[in-house]
Amino acid sequence: MFDLQQYLKEKTALVNKALERSLPAADARPAILHRAMRYSVLAGGKRLRPILCLAAAEAVGGNVKNALTSALALEILHSYTLIHDDLPCMDDDVLRRGKPTSHVMFGEANALLAGDALLTLAFEWIAKTIPPPPYKPNQIILELAKAAGSMGVIGGQVEDLAFERKKPDAATVNYIHMHKTACLITAAARIGGICGGAGRGELKALGKYGEKAGLAFQITDDILNETSTRKKMGKAAGSDRARGKMTYVAVHGLEKSRQAALRLAGEAVRALQPLKGDKQALAALVDFIVTRKL
Amino acid sequence: MFDLQQYLKEKTALVNKALERSLPAADARPAILHRAMRYSVLAGGKRLRPILCLAAAEAVGGNVKNALTSALALEILHSYTLIHDDLPCMDDDVLRRGKPTSHVMFGEANALLAGDALLTLAFEWIAKTIPPPPYKPNQIILELAKAAGSMGVIGGQVEDLAFERKKPDAATVNYIHMHKTACLITAAARIGGICGGAGRGELKALGKYGEKAGLAFQITDDILNETSTRKKMGKAAGSDRARGKMTYVAVHGLEKSRQAALRLAGEAVRALQPLKGDKQALAALVDFIVTRKL
């Protein structure tokens, strides 16, 4: 039987070691900037996006090695979104993963610039892998740019802020969750597939898997944020609700949210059907996404 | 004789029209984000970086068309740096090119995110051009990422802030100017050359040209900022000095700064010697850089 805990342990170690080695040294000029970049990226976290990327490469019969640099790029891009999200003009959070946020540690300007630098570095890293034919050499860069851009993650962040303290509605929360969260998770699955040489049908399947898994991830986040104290995240129960954020739970209630997460998880697993490689990890990861406690 | 004014007029119109057409529509969701992106990019400006990029392509015998998308990417990347530079936690400027800055118009969070989105879009655009052999397909993306990253433009911004109100010294001001300004201008020249199919010697020459021209540009900026009222920029004379910024003029005085700009301009023009195409525009642009009044 597939041992997800062992898989997560191995892949997390692989990603962490590669990040540690690949990020600019803490004493490279300007040292405060590189310390800030390393501080946020190496603060831990589930490494969900890079691990999904690696697992997607395996699920199409590809080699994890060919997807590693792209996986790291996804993680540092995710780190930049967290740093900017935490800034005083955004969510104004002082804790992240139980540690002081970047602007608390390094000042607002350096946090802003550390985020900018991680976003820039993500494109440097993603550009290092030229995917195999029939993919175009620039395909994975375009995938990442679209997923992370104004009609992807950033679009979701803008609407998330615009609808704070407004009456929750299903269409808006769906837009926000699809863009702010599911876009990058979908990109992680697709990019892993491209690096692994996915066929056309496989790539489409990975996209569907990513969307469903991404939405399930965010709904689970909303549920956890409503019900658990999540002390390690530095968040209090109901903090998103207190802030007037539009959550899936606020629109649909806890019970329907739980059902939706499980339904999406099932759809994500079924989407894997066309994949020709080892898809055990992708299937197990969905399970992890909806059953995690953090 | 080469008519620089006519050249600038034509190329500015080309760049402006292409930007207008290529940016996401103002009513695309989220509309406030796309309006903010268009507001800053289409606010005017000298379009120096894209024009240098186009001129560099011509100077190696290449076609302007092949460099256009990259030229636009350089301009929107520059726009993002201005939006983030103007934020309250950075320079806290309320005017830029005589108009309210992005955060004044759209709020801090949207300005931050508009900058992030322009940076992301710059990589989407730059990835659209695959340069001709012997260049690698990802070469121009890597050039842009390095120039814009933590050891390029962003590194310069961090040190610019770190040395505010410190005693000016020549080595520090050189680091800041080389990184904050010259890195992207050098990238503009090199990327234009790569798109135009520059030979190895030509590319090296363009890099040298860009460094010298970029440094001359920033020194001229320091001089103008010290001596002119620059009403159109929304800046008062001496505003950088008042803020305690480390300028070339603060270290070396006005007269030596003027001499340095002219010396660098001469070096930039001499660096063009190995180029095999029409290099009149690149030569004239250096002249414009050190003699402009805005």
A171 near B CB under 8 A: no
Residue A58 has which token pair?
């395996």
Q: At what angle do helices B48-59 and B64-86 cross, to 10 degrees?
A: 160
Are B130 and A120 within 8 A, CB to CB?
no
Among A207, A279, A284, residue whose Cα is nearest residue A57: A279
* One-character DSSP codes across A100-117: E-HHHHH-HHHHHHHHHH
Interface residue B84 vs chain A (CB under 8 A): yes
Nearest C-alpha in B relative to A91: B109
Q: Specify which residues A99 forms β-bridges with.
A: A96
Residues 6+ apart with CB under 8 A from A145: A123, B120, B121, B123, B124, B127
CA distance B20 to chain A (A): 16
Secondary structure letter of residue B178 according to DSSP = I
Is B34:B102 a contact under the CB 8 Å cutoff?
no
A137 touches chain B (CB under 8 A): yes
What string of DSSP letters covers A220-231? Answer: HHHHHHHH---G
Q: Closest Cα to residue B153, out of B123, B115, B182?
A: B182
**3-class secondary structure, B244:** coil
Rounded-to-integer distance, Cα B126 and Cα B128, Å: 5
Three-class SS string for A141-198?
Answer: HHHHHHHHCCCCHHHHHHHHHHCCCCCCCHHHHHHHHHHHHHHHHHHHHHHHHHHCCC
- Nearest by CB to A145, from B88, B123, B145: name it: B123
Q: Tell if the CB–CB gap between A124 and B89 is shorter than 8 Å.
A: no
Nearest CA in chain A to B138: A127
The domain locations on chain B are 4-291
Omega prior to A88 cis, within 30 of 0: no
> By CA distance, what is B159's nearest residue in A?
A30
Low-confidence ranges of chain A (pLDDT < 70): 229-238
Share of chain B above pLDDT 90, in %: 88
Taking CB atoms and an 8 Å limit, are A109 and B149 in contact across chains? Answer: no
B31 touches chain A (CB under 8 A): no
| A282 lies within 8 A of chain B by CB | no
Residue of B nearest to A116 (CA): B116
Q: Which CATH class is domain B4-291?
A: mainly alpha
Tell if the CB–CB gap between A155 and B33 is shorter than 8 Å.
yes
B89 touches chain A (CB under 8 A): yes
CB contact under 8 A, B154 and A34: no
Q: Is A34 on the interface with B (CB under 8 A)?
A: yes
pLDDT at A181 (0 to 100): 97
Q: Which two tokens stand for residue B186?
A: 């050098």
**In terms of Cα–Cα distance, which of B85, B75, B76, B150 is closest to B119?**
B76
Q: What pTM was estimated for this model as a whole?
A: 0.97
Cβ distance of A158 and B121 shorter than 8 Å: no
For chain B, give the mean pLDDT. Answer: 95
Beta strands per DSSP E along chain B = 95-96, 99-100
Verify whether the Cβ–Cβ distance B150 to A32 is below 8 Å. no
Burial class (CB in 10 A: 0-12, 13-18, 19+), A93: buried
- Alpha-carbon torsion, ordered B68, B73, B79, B85, to 10 deg: -140
Q: Which are the contacts of A259, defined by CB distance < 8 A and separation ≥ 6?
A: none
Q: Note whether B154 contacts A: Cβ–Cβ < 8 A.
A: yes
| Structure tokens given for B44 | 């005017």
- How many interchain CB pairs under 8 A, A with B? 157
pLDDT at B229: 57
What stretches in chain B show pLDDT beneath 70?
Answer: 229-238
User: What does the pLDDT read at residue A277?
Assistant: 97
Q: What is the structure's pLDDT at A237?
A: 67
Chain A hits for B121, Cβ within 8 Å: 145, 149-150
pLDDT tens digits for B101-160?
Answer: 999 999 999 999 999 999 999 999 999 999 999 999 999 999 999 999 999 999 999 999
CA distance B148 to B81: 9
